[in-house]
Structure formats: structure tokens, C-alpha cells
A and B are shown apart, each in its own frame.
Chain A
């Protein structure tokens, strides 16, 4: 009997709601059927007087019906607001573009630099930096490149007419200059990265600019070895490119490291199968690396053979170019907003 009563109520609601024309009437209807003093709520209150079996059955039905009624009422509310008297006047073309204040854009070098800094900070590396104008001593001598060293040829350097005291000054040709300065002030174990602007006097083309951004990593401790270099590099590049990257070392020469390596990573496009991006070479050449030369440690005041360490350096532009498929590195310094505003 209760069951038919409940269904009866639902039917009444459905009937009456068709006559409701405004929100006030709807509010009254809601109060009548679902309000605290409504007949419906009265049933629910009296459920406890029923036999357990029946209580369960009726209870479920009552609750279900209550929710159905609520849905009907809410549906009507939505209809009313749509057909409300103001709706026509309020209607606008929402596809017209919004009032933008205009947001600025970072140079892609900054974006890549941040990515790198974040990954290395996460690995416990400190970010170090030094001046962009260096004395001859820090740019060369402290890095095991004394005057007349043939390796000075590799790095065609911008020299300054001005001197600091008696010392010649140069626009730093690599961030490695910071290595020596940092080690003079800190004792191992140490882990640093040095991102920064460098300068070399070489002709510019789509892959070379005389001003470029290098990113250097240096780890020094008591038992640092080539395996550690490989692992840290693989971890970094895998995270940077968001895919598994392998690192390959080939023999090379740098005065400040011994052994020295050329540093390749597995192609980020084909993963090492061979494709146009890597010229079917499976590897991409990225930069130089090596185990810190003991002469460099001696130059900063560490005892020979007390520590070992690894260092590497490569161009940020190269990473940005790979990441965004940029084909001319001179764009980074072009100042052209048509370029910058894409990032």
C-alpha cells in the first residue's frame, strides 16, 4: 500500500511540474514534496515502524523516488533559467576572442637551461657561475693549457685590449674556467653544473655562432670513475628527452681531462636504429667529456691523485635545436619576436 502511495506522489510531481512557470512556483513545489514537513518525508520518518523485511523494501523505493523527484525539479530549474526573461538579451558571441593582456615568452635557451638546472638540482648538483671575462690564467693556464700550448689553437679566443694589472683578459672560451675557481674555494666531494655564455672567435653559420651557451658538469670525489660519468649522463639525458638514452664515449683530447672523450648519445628520433636525423649513424655527437686531469687538481691546490673526477661540457643551443627542431642557431641571438613568440 505504501508502495502505491509513493508512486502516486511521483506521478503528482510530474503532473504539477508542467504547470510551473517561474522559479517561485518551483520553490513552492519543492517545499511541498521534499520539504521537512512534506508527506514524503513523513513516510521516511515512519519507516522504523515497519517490519524489517518491508522496511528495507520500502526504504529503498522511497530513497530512489526522492532522488528521482529531485532530478525532475533540478531539470525544471535549468529549463527555467534558459527560457528566463533575460536570456535573449544576455546572449553573446562566445567565439569572439577574449581580451588578452598578452603574455611574454622566454628565449628557448632559457627554457632548456631551466630544464637542465632542474634535473641536476634534483640530483644534488649546485649551480655555479663565474664572470664572462676571464684572466688568461683561469681561461687557459689553470686548465692545463699554458702559453704556447697547441690546444689553444682549437679555441680561437676573443682577447681584450684591456688588461687586469699585468694579466691578459679574454672573453671566456668555455665554462670550464669556473671549474678551477670553484675548486679553489671548495673541497671535494663536490657536484656542480655551470651553465653560461661563452665566446669563440669563429665564423658563424647555421650550427656555429661566436657567442654560445655552454653547460658544464663537474663531479669530484674519492673514487669517481668513467662508469659514473656514463651513468649520470644517461640519467640526465633520459630525463631531459623523456626517453631512454644511451651514452657512447669515443677517444678525444682536451688539456683539462685525461682520459678525454667525445660524447655521443643514442639518436633521440630513432632510438639508435638509424634515421635521417642521425644521418643513419645511430648516434648524435654532443660534446666533450673526460676525467679531470690531475694537473688541474694540482693547480687548484688539491694533492695529486687524492681525488678523481669527471667533467663534461656541451652547447645548450644544440639541445634546444634538437628539442624544437630549430635549424639555425643564429636565431637565438636574432632578437626576432617572430621567433621568440613561438616558445
Chain B
């Protein structure tokens, strides 16, 4: 919210500069987001008197003025060329001297305009940043003294603006000038007594704003829902003259960002800005019934009830909405906005003023449901002290008596359950213990007293909280106020005393780290993607919406679904990076959410993706498979198998997809993305991807101490030589390499160390494998090896119909 610093000065009596005040508030109260200094712009703009005017010899529309003013402490007559038609001899005008910088970073220089020298500028309203008027030069009051700063005669514009970031727990008192003025006084350690300026009615002290009793038969007030409306003060003022507000009032509203309308409406806004209490004014003649009886009934709306708001929108109400009515029709949506029919207009003579207290939660719900947001609802929804209504009513009556010629005809105050101050017990020792620094007791008592808190010293301090500080409910709330007013900067850093214990290792975190290290070592770059994708992604990848969680309020339609798989976003990474790179190896580790039995299941997944510079047919798939094998080896994961999948889903190429199983448990899949999906993402190269569930994998890791406690164990190095024999063969198409290896191992028995494929000619289905054999206790003899090989070869021939070449 924007605050007028002049107003704050008037209320708090502070002598601080705006900068100092802003700094003090930032360090001890809340953040000042901005400080606008308006009078800065007027240094160098002084009052001048026009002595002489002549026509410009070379331009029809220009005139030459001789202006008397003071410059460098001496009287000077300046020749100034001017284009405005409204100047006349004897006028006092604002003169920008040479060297002055005006708003918009425009610096006045000595100039020659069409052959005539000019030493300064006479200023129009817009040139001083005061308005938009450029029709003529601003004419100052006749009494203005030549040579003085013009700012003195330019109304309230020498004011500065503080922009405050109001904290939610302080909204009830800080969304007002009085609240901030009180805060400033506390920080300066001065007793606060708000002084209303003479301009805005009589001087007043906040505590002395007490409602006079003035019974009135012309107004009746009834509250039907006493939970949602805790207090309602209505006052009738007669003989009101609706007109423009005085300048001081308009200036203050404008500086706070509100638009002046007329004196009555402006006064309600003025008091709201000053005290924080929203007010409303009705035209009495528009709300009374045929018998000239005027009553206010506060009640819940009934089903299907409708009303038209001040701004012309028609709304449909529900039973949860609270209304101000005249007993029949709605006059206002309580605490949010007035109705169109009951408002102040230029013919208004008699008004009913409302100062009421509404339930914060209900206001919040109503305005959210109806999509409304007003200065009034903004304050009510953060809760307000019901006792503030009284002060606001006294204040607005006073102001309207001054600026609208009105007089009070009567006041009605319905306040079913009076809110009075409450007590919070404060343990001084606990306060010091929590802050970590001993605040002298005298200081604490002083701070509490400055905050308006009455203290009774018993075993604990019994603190009586003024009702305008709704946020002070616990002793921690009080400790916070003591700490911040005293100064957090006085609290010294203090080493923590704690038992020396090793941090418990988060295994998942360190498993993921290891994974990152291995993968970057293998040349893979790490991606971070958003956790969302679009309906379009589902369509392109054929994934089902019913597996996905869905955002109720996405930022945009592209991010409507919560990712259940990593693939769609990775496809986009590949597409975009192919614009700059010809080969890509990327990975991402992150969480995915699957919807199973309408419950979200969280999975922590790893995805790998690889695109090669060139792929004649197989290199992309086998390249990524190799990476996966390297990765699993580096992580000590044994018993890995890649098995064919019967139903590979909609994303992968069915002929080039395998599930990855560890010790018989499926942990993920690997495969090439199928042509249709690639085409829909405009990727023109082969792309292999693999996705793995990391939590499942971690528990299967050897040495993880997981369920099987499969701790890694060293195997002695064989002392005896290893011999190798090759077999070259033609393999029937349907026979898999894994079957050959399995059969060879089965028949070779213990002697077999290792089997590897060392040559392959795909077109002819030919393979060459190398079998490495040894024994742990002896050097194998030729006959033994031959026998084993014979057994393997014949089983390959018989069982798999492999044709072994000699």
C-alpha cells in the first residue's frame, strides 16, 4: 500500500526524513518497497514575476517574457522565451532556472530559440509532473514570494510516498496511516498520540475518538447474523451538500492511489486510509420505504437472490453471502461493495453512514467465489478490530461536518458481543532464551508500554493487549515484537552446543549422486524438466489421460498434466537440441506420478536418451544398451537381463524394446522410440531411451544392505591359465543370442568363465562367440577342453538347430 509521508508526519509527529523513517521501518517493522520523493523534482523551480511581455520577432506563437526572480541569492531579471498563450504581466509563475532537471530527466539549458536567447523555462503543470495539463503555464497565488521555491505554492505535492509491503498478520493495523504512524512512534521510543491535522477537521487523539450517544427514531438497525456481523454503527447526517472535495483531501487520496469522486465518497475513503476501517455511505432517500421509515437489516442472502453492484455488475448470491438490506432489497454486499441503487449521487441530501465489523473468513470466501477484490474486502478479509468502527464513525462525522456542511441526526450502534482486551502471559526468561540474548527488563517493559500494552508484573508478566493488535495472541508474538523493536542486529551469532553425531546418510540421495557421476563420466548431460506436460503430449505419445494426475489450475494448457513418465519432456529436449547439435546424450533424474486406483503413486525415475551422429541401423540402440550396462556395472548391480517385451506400449518401437530385469525383478525398459512418435515431435533421427525406477534399483544393488543383505564379496584371482576357443555359426532367425549363451553355460558347466560375441554378420545370421575357460585348481588339459567344447557344440546343433562352421 502507498502511504503519504506528510500524513504520517502529521499523525506521528516524527521529525525523521523519509529515508531515515524508511530505513527504521525496514529494519524493525516491515519492508519498505519504494520511496518516491516528489519534492526532489522541484529543486531549482522558483517563483518568478512577469514584468514585461513582447512578441517574438521571428515566430508568431512565441512570446518573450522578462521575469524577475532570485538566482544565486541576488535579484535577477531573466529573458525567457515562452509558447503558452495564458501569461500576463504581473503574474507569479514557476520558473525552472538553468541547470534544473525536471521530471522525465529534462535539464534546462541556456538556449537560443529562433534567434532569441532564453535563460530558463516557465512551467506548465505536466512539466512539473503534477498532472497532464499542458494548455498553459501554471499561475501561482498572487501572494507567492518572488525567489522562493515554487513547491511551497504547489499544494500538497511536496509530499513523499512510502510503499509498504504489509505483512498478512499486521494487515489489520498497518493498512492505515495511523497504524504506521504508531509504529514509527514506537521505533523512535516516543509516546504515540495521533494528531489529526487542522486541515482535516479538528485535531484529535486516537484514544479520544469516542462515539457520542444520539438516539434516533429515523434509523433502525438489526443484525440477523451476529457471527458474520459483529458490530454495526449507522449514523444519519442531514443537510449534506455534495460537491468536490477540498484540495488537501484530494491530494492525499491521489497520493495513495485513489481517485477523488465527491466529498462524501472521498471522506469514507480518507478515513479508511487513515484508520484502516472501510466505511460506506447510502443515500437515505433511496433506501427508506414508502412510509419514510429507514431501517438497516444485516442478513444472509437467500437462494437465487440477485443484486446489482456499484460498478454495474449483476451478481447471483448464495446463502453464504452476507447482505446489508433495507429489510427487503439488498443495499450492499456486506464489506465488499455497495449496491447501484443506494449510492451517493449529486442530489443526495441525507446520508446513512455505515461503520461495521464483518467476519473475515466469510468476506474472503464471498469475494473469492464472486471474483471481486475491493479496498474494502482487502481489509475486512484480514480481520479488523470491531472497536475501530467507533473511531472511524466519529472521524468521518467530524470531517463531513467540515467539508459537506452536514449535521448528525442520530447514531445507532449495535454491538452484541463487545470485544475487550485480552491477557497474554510472558515469561521473561523464555523471551531471553528464545532470542538468545538478554534484553534488559527495563527495555522490555518500555517496549511493551510503547506498544500500548499494559503490564502487570506477577510471577510472569501479564500483558493486556490493546484490541487494535489482533495478532498478539501468544508469548512468542510478544517476544517477536520485543526482539524487533529492540533490534535483531543486537543478537550475536552463537555456536550451537550439540552432541557430535555422524549425519545419517540419505541413501537415495547418495545413490542418485553416484548415478550422476557415472553418467556424466559416460558423456551424458543432465536435464531438469518441468513436472508437467500437455494433452497434446498425451496424444502424440499415445499415453492415457486416466493414468495421469491433472492440475486444477495450470499456468497454461501446455502444463496441464503431472508427468507420469519422463519421456514426453525428454522428446522435447531432443527436438530442441537437435537444432544445435548432431548427437545428444542426456539424462534426467526426477519424480513421476502415476494414478493407480485413483491414488497418486510417486516414483523416482531415471531416464537416458541418446541420438547418434550417424546410425546405419543398430548403433543407437546398442549404444544406449552399452551405457546402461556400464552404469549398472559401476553401481555393482549384478544379474541383469534384457528381455523382450510382448506389449511395449505406444511410444517404443516394438521390434527394438527390452525390459530390464535385475535378479528377476523388472526395473525399467530400454528401446528405440517408434517412427510415428518421432515424426509427431519432428525428430528425424533414431532415438533410444531407457527409463528406470531408482528406488527399486537401489534396493537391488549389491552392497546396499537391502532386504537380501547382498554384500559384495571378493573372489580370489584364478592362478591357472585361461584358455579361449571360438565358435563360428549360422543361427536360425528366431534364436536369441541369450539362448545360445545360456545353453553354452549350462553345458560347459563350471569351466566357463566368460562368453562373448566377437563378430556378427546380421544379413547372414552369422555369429562368432569366444568361450573362455579355466579351472580353479589346475591347468586345463587339451582333452578336457575339447570334451567341453564338443558338448557345447553338439547341444547348440541339437537344441537350437545352429549350424556350426568348422
Q: Could you tell me which A residues sit within 8 Å of B by CB distance?
A: 101-107, 109-110, 114, 117, 120-121, 123-129, 131-133, 148, 150-151, 153-154, 158-162, 164, 169, 171, 189, 191, 197, 199, 201, 204, 210-211, 219, 221, 223-228, 230-232, 234, 247-253, 258-262, 291, 293-294, 305, 308, 332-333, 335-338, 340-341
A249: chain B residues within 8 A (beta carbon): 488-489, 491
B435: chain A residues within 8 A (beta carbon): 225-227
Q: Quick one: closest B residue to A211, CB to CB?
A: B530
A109 to B528, CA, bound (A): 9
A230: chain B residues within 8 A (beta carbon): 491-494
A154 to B480, CA, bound (A): 21
Say yes or no: A127-B509 contact (C-beta < 8 A), given A103-B521, A150-B382, A291-B476: yes
Say yes or no: A161-B552 contact (C-beta < 8 A), given A121-B503, A226-B435: yes
Known: A228-B496, A253-B168; 11 extra A-B contacts, CB below 8 A, are A103-B520, A117-B509, A133-B549, A151-B168, A161-B552, A171-B562, A223-B433, A228-B495, A251-B29, A253-B170, A337-B584
Say yes or no: A251-B526 contact (C-beta < 8 A), given A133-B562, A159-B553, A171-B531: no
A300 to B312, CA, bound (A): 49
Q: Quick one: closest A residue to B482, CB to CB?
A: A259
Flag B337-366 by CB within 8 Å of A: 1 or 0 each.
000000000000000000000001100110
**Which of B26, B480, B520 has the most A CB atoms < 10 Å from its CB?**
B480
B585: chain A residues within 8 A (beta carbon): 102, 104
- B498 partner, pick from A101, A124, A305, beta carbons under 8 A: A124
Contact A308 B480 (CB under 8 A): no
B598: chain A residues within 8 A (beta carbon): 162
| B499 touches A (CB below 8 Å) | yes
Contact A231 B493 (CB under 8 A): yes
Contact A335 B488 (CB under 8 A): no
Q: How big is the B interface, by class?
A: 35 or more
A101: chain B residues within 8 A (beta carbon): 523
Contact A104 B521 (CB under 8 A): yes
- A259 partner, pick from B381, B480, B554, beta carbons under 8 A: B480
Of B39-47, B573-581, B756-764, B793-801, which binds chain A? B573-581
Say yes or no: A228-B436 contact (C-beta < 8 A), given A150-B382, A159-B552: yes
A258: chain B residues within 8 A (beta carbon): 474, 476-477, 479-480
Contact A337 B493 (CB under 8 A): no
| B115 touches A (CB below 8 Å) | no
Contact A227 B523 (CB under 8 A): no
A259: chain B residues within 8 A (beta carbon): 476, 479-480, 483-484
Contact A337 B577 (CB under 8 A): yes
Contact B493 A227 (CB under 8 A): yes
Contact A333 B528 (CB under 8 A): yes
Say yes or no: A107-B434 contact (C-beta < 8 A), given A128-B506, A151-B168, A337-B584: no
Say yes or no: A227-B513 contact (C-beta < 8 A), given A133-B600, A259-B476, A340-B525: no
Contact A105 B480 (CB under 8 A): no
Say yes or no: A226-B555 contact (C-beta < 8 A), given A250-B27, A251-B488: no
Q: Quick one: closest A residue to B502, CB to CB?
A: A124
| B536 touches A (CB below 8 Å) | no
Show 23 A/B contacts (Cβ-Cβ < 8 Å), sorted by A.
A104-B519, A104-B521, A114-B513, A124-B503, A127-B506, A132-B593, A150-B381, A161-B550, A162-B598, A164-B600, A201-B555, A225-B436, A248-B489, A251-B480, A252-B167, A253-B167, A259-B476, A261-B488, A291-B476, A305-B430, A333-B530, A335-B527, A336-B577
Q: Could you tell me which B residues sit within 8 Å of A by CB distance?
A: 26-31, 167-171, 360-361, 364-365, 381-382, 430, 433-437, 474, 476-477, 479-480, 483-484, 488-489, 491-496, 498-506, 508-509, 513, 516, 519-531, 549-555, 562, 569, 572-573, 576-577, 580-581, 584-587, 590-591, 593, 595, 598-600, 602
- B526 partner, pick from A106, A124, A191, A291, beta carbons under 8 A: A106
- B491 partner, pick from A104, A219, A226, A294, beta carbons under 8 A: A226
A253 to B171, CA, bound (A): 11
Contact B492 A225 (CB under 8 A): no
A250 to B524, CA, bound (A): 43
Q: Quick one: closest A residue to B590, CB to CB?
A: A197
B167: chain A residues within 8 A (beta carbon): 251-253
Contact B526 A107 (CB under 8 A): yes
10 shortest interchain CB distances as A-B pairs = A225-B436, A227-B436, A227-B494, A259-B480, A104-B520, A231-B493, A253-B167, A335-B573, A230-B493, A127-B506
Contact B382 A105 (CB under 8 A): no
Q: Quick one: closest B residue to A104, CB to CB?
A: B520
Contact B553 A191 (CB under 8 A): no
Contact B506 A162 (CB under 8 A): no
**CB of A34, distance to nearest CB on chain B (Å):** 41
Contact A169 B551 (CB under 8 A): no
**CB of B690, distance to nearest CB on chain A (Å):** 15
Contact B31 A262 (CB under 8 A): yes
A267 to B539, CA, bound (A): 49
B521: chain A residues within 8 A (beta carbon): 103-104
- A160 partner, pick from B496, B498, B550, beta carbons under 8 A: B550
Contact B498 A191 (CB under 8 A): yes
B551: chain A residues within 8 A (beta carbon): 158-161, 171
A336: chain B residues within 8 A (beta carbon): 576-577
Contact A211 B531 (CB under 8 A): yes
Q: Quick one: closest B residue to A157, CB to CB?
A: B553
Say yes or no: A124-B501 contact (C-beta < 8 A), given A105-B520, A231-B495: yes
A164: chain B residues within 8 A (beta carbon): 599-600
A154 to B171, CA, bound (A): 13
Contact A226 B434 (CB under 8 A): yes
A129: chain B residues within 8 A (beta carbon): 506, 508-509
A219: chain B residues within 8 A (beta carbon): 496
Say yes or no: A104-B513 contact (C-beta < 8 A), given A126-B504, A160-B549, A335-B573: no
B526: chain A residues within 8 A (beta carbon): 104-107, 110, 340
B476: chain A residues within 8 A (beta carbon): 258-259, 291, 293-294
